[in-house]
Amino acid sequence: MTPLQKPSISMIIPTFQEEKYVGSILAELSRLKPQVDIIVVDGGSSDNTVQIAKHFTHKVFQIHERGISKAKNYGAKKAESDLLVFLDADVHLKADFVDKVSRTFNCSRTVAATCNVLPIQAKSSEFAFSRFYNLLIRIVFRVKPLSEG
């Protein structure tokens, strides 16, 4: 991506005490193709979250007010693209994530999307709850998962 080229997707990650996870998600995001605009907004971590994030992106912002909605809104204002994706620091993405998001939003009727949420190494009860939760979201909001294309 050239310096003048606008990224197609801005990934916004609100953080607070996420040193255990933030490096992993930022490493995944930095390997995505096409490249994405990576924004980290920290709500006052006292651990190494901010220092780790700065190894992966120059867009690391610290705000004095804690709160996930404040961090997301701040990140949205700093975004360089019209398409915003909000992620938690402890998620893992598949390699085709950017492609699926781009395809989903190529439809002019699409204004928002969600994806399945499944824990890694889940107990049977946690896995069952996650499957139920994902189904409920699709029914309530009448959406289809990104994997259905």
pLDDT of residue 146: 56
Domain contains 59: yes
Quickly state the pLDDT bin for 145 (edges 50, 70, 90). low
Strands (DSSP E) along 16-63, which ranges? 37-42, 60-62
Domain contains 4: no
- Residue 116 CA to residue 2 CA, distance in Å, equals 33
Q: Are residues 59 and 32 in the same domain?
A: yes
Q: Are residues 86 and 134 in the same domain?
A: no
What mean pLDDT do residues 83-109 have?
Answer: 86
pLDDT of residue 144: 60
- pLDDT tens for residues 126-144? 778 878 887 887 787 776 6
83 is in which domain, residue-wise? 9-109
Number of domains, the chain: 2
- pLDDT tens for residues 46-81? 999 999 999 999 999 999 888 899 999 999 999 988
Put simply, whether the predicted model's pTM sits higher than 0.75 gets the answer yes
Q: Are residues 99 and 119 in the same domain?
A: no
Is pLDDT larger for residue 118 or for residue 50?
Answer: 50
Quickly state the pLDDT bin for 14 (edges 50, 70, 90). very high
